[in-house]
Structure formats: C-alpha cells, structure tokens
C-alpha cells in the first residue's frame, strides 16, 4: 500500500524531509507522494516517517494502490539497488 496526501495538507514541508526514498514532492497546492517510490518506510523504519511527523494527519493509505508487505519489501530492494 502506497500512501497519499489528502486535501487537508497545509504544505508545511515536514514530511518531505523525512522520506528516505525521496517519494514526496511539493505539489500545487499540496504535497504529493510518488507511489513508485513509496515503500511506507519498509526497509528503513518500523512506521512511515511522514505519517509520524505530519501535524494534521493528512497522510493515509491509498485505496487505489494496495500493496502487500512482500511487494513493499521487493520495491525497497529494487530502489536500494538503483542507488548503488
């Protein structure tokens, strides 16, 4: 499951700096999460860091992008290989 940012986003920039995969970018008018890079912090942390730091709780599971834990781990490994 990738995450999405809802319309309640206040564009505070707290989430972008916390994303270890660089999946969060500034959008207009709210920030957006690129589902191709979001692993919900699998491989990095126990919990999604963007969710942890969001002051308005506007980051939720994307119902249109359901991924299993196995798929998230695979995506993390693929992204990790690309960085090498």
pLDDT tens-digit map of 19-43: 999 999 999 999 999 999 999 999 9
Q: What is the CATH number of the domain that holds 57?
A: 3.30.70.20
- Percent of the chain clearing pLDDT 90 (strictly above): 89
Local confidence band at 1 (pLDDT 50, 70, 90 cut-offs): low
Strands (E), the chain: 3-5, 24-25, 32-33, 59-61
In terms of residue numbers, what domain contains 45?
A: 3-83
pTM for the structure as a whole: 0.90
- Report pLDDT for 2: 87
What total number of domains does the chain contain? Answer: 1
How far apart CA 14 and CA 61 sit, in angstroms, is: 18
pLDDT, mean of residues 36-61: 97
Neighbour-count burial for 21-53, b at 16+ CB within 10 Å, e otherwise: bebbeeeeeebebebebbbbbbeeeeebbbbee
CA dist 7 and 43 (Å) reads: 28
């Amino acid at each position: 499951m990738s995450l999405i940012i809802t319309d309640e986003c206040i564009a505070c920039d707290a989430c972008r700096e916390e994303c270890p995969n660089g999946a969060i970018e500034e959008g207009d008018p709210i920030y957006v999460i690129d589902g191709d890079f979001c692993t919900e912090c699998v491989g990095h942390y126990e919990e999604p860091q963007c969710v942890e730091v969001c002051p308005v709780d506007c980051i939720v599971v994307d119902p249109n992008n359901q991924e299993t834990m196995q798929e998230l781990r695979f995506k993390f490994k693929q992204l990790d290989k690309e960085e090498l």
